[in-house]
């Protein structure tokens, strides 16, 4: 009877040691997986297709593009191109995290910037020579972008307008 009790206590001791060792191995693994999944980076690329921005003489000219990192999309969606060009800080207010203005030549594909998960939306405004009938704004919700780790997001500029491409 005493041997049985001693044997059980030794087995419990081994089981507890095993559980403790397993916990010290698994816990850091779980934490690292969670932290890695939370620190996702998104690279933003911009591509300007040939003949997307023709001037009055038919020349293929660069477009001006402004990439916005936003907390919310409502003000961006409702704003006019003029307001975003000349008064973006006033119009977007605290919703604007950052913006990058650049010229993109025809047939050019550029890596614009990298964002982290703190950014809720990516918006883009494209200024053409003639904006009539063109979609000059596009945006995407960062949470809707597929991918476990680093992901690339692309906006393509066509003569019909700018579009998010998955």
Longest dimension (CA), the chain: 103
Q: Give φ, ψ of 144 to 5 degrees.
A: -85, -10
pLDDT digits (tens, 9 = 90+) for 5-24: 555 555 556 555 655 555 55
Mean pLDDT for all residues in the chain: 83
pLDDT of residue 43: 86
Query: pLDDT tier at 92 (50, 70, 90 boundaries)?
Result: very high
pLDDT digits (tens, 9 = 90+) for 108-166: 999 988 787 789 999 999 999 998 999 999 999 988 876 655 678 899 999 999 998 87
Nearest CA-CA partner of 125 in 82, 80, 85, 66: 66
Hey, how many other C-beta atoms are within 10 angstroms of the C-beta on 10? Answer: 10
Q: Is the pLDDT of residue 31 over 80?
A: no
150 and 43 in contact (C-beta within 8 Å)? yes
Interval 54-74 mean pLDDT: 95
Q: Which residues of 103-116 are buried (b: 16+ CB within 10 A; e: fewer)?
A: ebebeeeeebbebe
Strand pairing partners for 164? 155
């Amino acid at each position: 009877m005493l041997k049985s009790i001693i044997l059980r206590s030794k087995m419990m001791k081994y089981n507890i040691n095993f559980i403790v060792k397993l916990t010290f191995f698994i816990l850091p693994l779980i934490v690292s997986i969670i932290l890695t999944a939370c620190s996702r980076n998104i690279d933003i690329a911009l591509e300007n297709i040939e003949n997307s921005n023709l001037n009055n003489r038919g020349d293929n000219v660069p477009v001006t593009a402004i990439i916005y990192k936003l907390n919310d999309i409502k003000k961006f969606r409702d704003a006019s191109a003029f307001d975003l060009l000349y008064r973006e800080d006033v119009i977007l207010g605290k919703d604007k995290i950052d913006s990058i203005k650049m010229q993109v030549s025809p047939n050019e594909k550029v890596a614009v910037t990298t964002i982290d998960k703190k950014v809720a939306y990516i918006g883009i405004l494209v200024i053409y020579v003639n904006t009539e009938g063109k979609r000059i704004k596009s945006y995407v919700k960062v949470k809707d972008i597929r991918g476990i780790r680093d992901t690339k997001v692309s906006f393509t500029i066509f003569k019909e307008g700018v579009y998010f491409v998955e």
